[in-house]
Structure 1
Amino acid sequence: MRNNKLNMLASGATFLGLVSTITMAQADALTFNFHSGLTESRPEAEHIDAFATLVEEKSGGELKIDVYHAGALGLKEADVLRSLQRGMIDMALLYGEYYTRDAPALASVYAQGAITEADQHLDILPVIKEMYDDGFAKWDIHTVGGVVAPVFDVGLHCKEPVDSLEDLEGKKVRVWSRHLVETFDELGIAAQVIPQNDMYMALQTGVVDCAYYLSTVAKTVSLHEVTEYESYLHPWAAAPWIFGISEQSLGRLDDNQRQALEEAGQEIWARTRDLAVDAEREALARKERESLGITVLSPFSDEDMDTFVAAAWKAWKDMAENAGEDGLYYYNNVTEALSE
């Protein structure tokens, strides 16, 4: 009887010890919030969720990332740098061109017209990442990989046949940034920034005649319903999405948790880099647009592309100069690497 009691006591002590160990492990586990302004329907969202899953797996459950898509934390993109710097949020998906109020130089890291061949994007990525790392570090933000955006075709989507800069003269063009307005202005072509959500109506009502847009995903915004022609101009200089963590939050991690975070970020970066350039994807998307009734014209000539690139680089340099010393530093480093 006495032995049975001793065995019961020993078993109870073992159980309590196990419960205590589990409780301590749970207490040591951290959960970080992660802001993303992108909706869950965007392909980038899948990669962010994959990043969160990898972090939990690699840390043995010691670190969890709760991703809040579509700005569910109530944070405005313009305020992201300040919020991370103050430790108000743990992590965020960062996109350099969003922060023109607080860090205008970050918009000078990369610009449309920077590349003329898709493979150039892969060659220049390490330099681009280095520039972003430098820029975000000034805001006490540490970067841990990110999502390399696909390099889509960029074209002119018009209601009438347009496949040259000459054809664009007298036309009104929709663009997505001030840099592009200044690029087309340099070419003597009228352009204006129109948000993506308003682009369909602007074409339908004649506010603009053409849309400068990512041809590969033109179907998703129904451009085939309000335009009949498209012509390829150049590959998209796709600025990557960066995973950023507040230095304050980073300081709460132990070595295992930090290693898990770094490895997961780099794994997603490598995975998306391998998917970024895909000629077959572009060809299939082009055929699909033709099946929707779009007439795909000949691409803009090499001469026209060179003229556009020269104007884009001039506008890019002007933008960098206006951003100050940091803007010129980023511009000079990236353009020097592109020129090698």
Structure 2
Amino acid sequence: MKDNKINKLKIFLPLLGFALVASDAQASEITLNFHSGLAQSRPEAEHIEEFARLVEEKSAGELKIDVYHAGALGLKEADILRTLQRGMVDMALLYGEYYTRDAPALSAVYAQGAITEPEQHLDILPVIKELYDDGFAQWDIHTVGGVVAPVFDVGLHCKSPVNTLEDLQGKKVRVWSRHLVETFDELGIAAQVIPQNDMYMALQTGVVDCAYYLSTVAKTISLQEVTEYEAYLHPWAAAPWIFGISERALGRLNENQRQALEEAGQEVWDITRELAVDPEREAEARAEREELGITVLEPFSAEDVETFVTAAWNNWQSLAENAGEDGLRYYETVTEALSE
């Protein structure tokens, strides 16, 4: 009888060891849910998927990211900071200008008219990233790289020839933010915020005469059907998309998983930074718009650009002051760096 017990024990112990090893392996494999409000057809979505792939590869399968595009988790963008802080989702694609209710200072980090040359954007990116890191950390969110948005041309797309600020007097202009409304107002030009999805109809029906818009992607919403003329004004001050993970989720990761997350995020950031400024891309897009029937006018003059930028900075400062102490600090940090 005693020998039978010993034999059974010899069989049981290796099985127990195997079970413990399997249990440890399962415990070290973690899947994080990642919220993105962007449609899967957007170029940024490809970079998010690449981030997920790199995380799994660099962690040797220990860490996986399940990406939910187009808000598939049912989360609202305005609530994302609170949602991450409470650990209700593990990760999210963050865009500072979305959180004016909870973190207004984040919308003051960068503004249109901030740059007049695309290369300035690349120079200022480290400063912008550092400020976003600071702002999101206040919500118990750790940042791990992100997507540097392309620096597209911004132009005025009009139904009649317009390529001076004087030409814009008496015209109604579509813009995408309150800051831009106030900037144009300072110049004596009527502007109103109209969502992208409503812009085509607003131009078609005469609600507005011109659209201040990203010229490089104007064809994707068929602006050539409702406008005939375009004039370049300045490069887009493209706020980057940031990958954020809640501190709660981060606390569940081991050192290998954390390192994989950091390395993957930085790699995507570096890749997209290299793609951000591309004069050839802008020239090809301009030629394509001309083929679609758009008359590309001479750009706004250097004097007009300076006038616009001065108004934009004035209203950027007002936006920052209204956002509180952090907002003003962010504004002063970025504008000081841009002025160097």
**Fold shared per TM-score above 0.5:** yes
| Structural mapping, 1:79-158, within 5 Å | 79-158=79-158
- TM-score computed with the length of structure 2 as normaliser: 0.95
Distance change in 2, residues 1:22/1:192 (3 Å): same
What letter matches 1:293 in structure 2? G
Q: Distance in 2 between matches of 1:122 and 1:276?
A: 8
What corresponds to 2:297 in structure 1? Answer: 297
Distance change in 2, residues 1:153/1:11 (3 Å): farther
SS at match of 1:70: coil
**1:24 Cα deviation from its structure 2 partner:** 3.0
* Deviation readout 1:196-225 (Å, 9 max, x if unpaired): 000000000000000000000001011011
What corresponds to 2:247 in structure 1? Answer: 247
Instruction: Count residues in correspondence.
Output: 332
What letter matches 1:89 in structure 2? V
> Does residue 1:60 correspond to 2:60, yes or no?
yes
What corresponds to 1:232 in structure 2? Answer: 232
| Structural mapping, 1:172-211, within 5 Å | 172-211=172-211
Q: Distance in 2 between matches of 1:213 and 1:19?
A: 60
* Deviation readout 1:69-90 (Å, 9 max, x if unpaired): 0000100000000000111110
**1:327 Cα deviation from its structure 2 partner:** 0.5
What corresponds to 1:330 in structure 2? Answer: 330
* Deviation readout 1:23-64 (Å, 9 max, x if unpaired): 531232111000000000000000000000000010111111
**1:304 Cα deviation from its structure 2 partner:** 0.3
Distance change in 2, residues 1:213/1:17 (3 Å): same
**1:20 Cα deviation from its structure 2 partner:** 5.7
**1:16 Cα deviation from its structure 2 partner:** 8.3
Q: Distance in 1 between matches of 2:214 and 2:11?
A: 66
SS at match of 1:245: strand
What corresponds to 1:33 in structure 2? Answer: 33
The CA RMSD measured in Å over matched residues stands at 1.6
What letter matches 1:110 in structure 2? Y
Q: Distance in 2 between matches of 1:85 and 1:12?
A: 45
What corresponds to 1:5 in structure 2? Answer: none
What letter matches 1:179 in structure 2? H
Q: Distance in 1 between matches of 2:27 and 2:105?
A: 41
Percent of aligned pairs sharing the same letter? 81
**1:13 Cα deviation from its structure 2 partner:** 8.8
**1:12 Cα deviation from its structure 2 partner:** 11
* Deviation readout 1:199-255 (Å, 9 max, x if unpaired): 000000000000000000001011011000000000000000000000111111110
* Deviation readout 1:124-165 (Å, 9 max, x if unpaired): 000000110010011010000000000000000000000010
Q: Distance in 1 between matches of 2:201 and 2:248?
A: 45
Unmatched 5+ residue regions in structure 2? 1-9
What corresponds to 1:284 in structure 2? Answer: 284
SS at match of 1:161: coil
What letter matches 1:312 in structure 2? A
What corresponds to 2:4 in structure 1? Answer: none
Q: Distance in 1 between matches of 2:84 and 2:39?
A: 21
SS at match of 1:71: coil
What letter matches 1:62 in structure 2? E
Q: Distance in 2 between matches of 1:124 and 1:328?
A: 17
What letter matches 1:144 in structure 2? V
Q: Distance in 2 between matches of 1:187 and 1:268?
A: 39
* Deviation readout 1:158-217 (Å, 9 max, x if unpaired): 000000100000000000000000000000000000000000000000000000000000
Q: Distance in 1 between matches of 2:47 and 2:19?
A: 35
Q: Distance in 1 between matches of 2:136 and 2:17?
A: 45
Unmatched 5+ residue regions in structure 1? 1-9
What corresponds to 2:48 in structure 1? Answer: 48
Distance change in 2, residues 1:60/1:15 (3 Å): farther
What letter matches 2:322 in structure 1? N
Q: Distance in 2 between matches of 1:103 and 1:64?
A: 30
What letter matches 2:184 in structure 1? F
What letter matches 2:117 in structure 1? E
What corresponds to 1:221 in structure 2? Answer: 221
Q: Distance in 2 between matches of 1:71 and 1:204?
A: 30
SS at match of 2:224: helix
Q: Distance in 1 between matches of 2:22 and 2:280?
A: 50
Distance change in 2, residues 1:59/1:187 (3 Å): same
What corresponds to 1:306 in structure 2? Answer: 306
Distance change in 2, residues 1:288/1:22 (3 Å): farther
Q: Distance in 1 between matches of 2:300 and 2:257?
A: 50
Q: Distance in 1 between matches of 2:195 and 2:245?
A: 29
